[in-house]
Amino acid sequence: MSEEYRAKVFKSGNSLALRLPKALGFQEGAEMLLREEQGRYVVEPAERPKRKINLDGLAGSMPGLRPFEPEEREFEEPPRIWDDADWPGWKAIR
């Protein structure tokens, strides 16, 4: 069975707040979701929204910066030393 804790409701400005025990491990400022399920309240961490980076203002602000065309997106594989059968490193691992 899980542990049971007592929490206290108090007035905070024009709202009510629930003081949670430190032992629960919540971080200060963490956003929580609160919902009622069959007469009980469930509190759980809210998912953080994924951060998006808007690069719209960047396009056109740097000379020569432009999106790649589809045919420019394919690159040749660079030669790798371990693909060479005469690579000296093979002696060390054989």
Tell me the pLDDT tens digit for each residue of 27-47: 888 888 999 999 998 888 888
Query: For the chain, what are the domain ranges?
Result: 8-45
pTM of the model: 0.41
The domain over range 8-45 is classified in CATH as 2.10.260: yes
pLDDT of residue 35: 92
Best CA proximity match to 20, nearest among 44, 48, 49, 37? 44
Judge contact between 19 and 7, C-beta under 8 A. Answer: yes
Q: How far apart are CA 80 and CA 1, in angstroms?
A: 57
pLDDT tens readout for residues 39-73: 998 888 888 777 888 777 766 677 777 778 888 88
Which residues are bridge partners to 33 per DSSP? 44
For strand 15-19 and strand 8-12, is the pairing parallel, antiparallel, or unpaired?
antiparallel
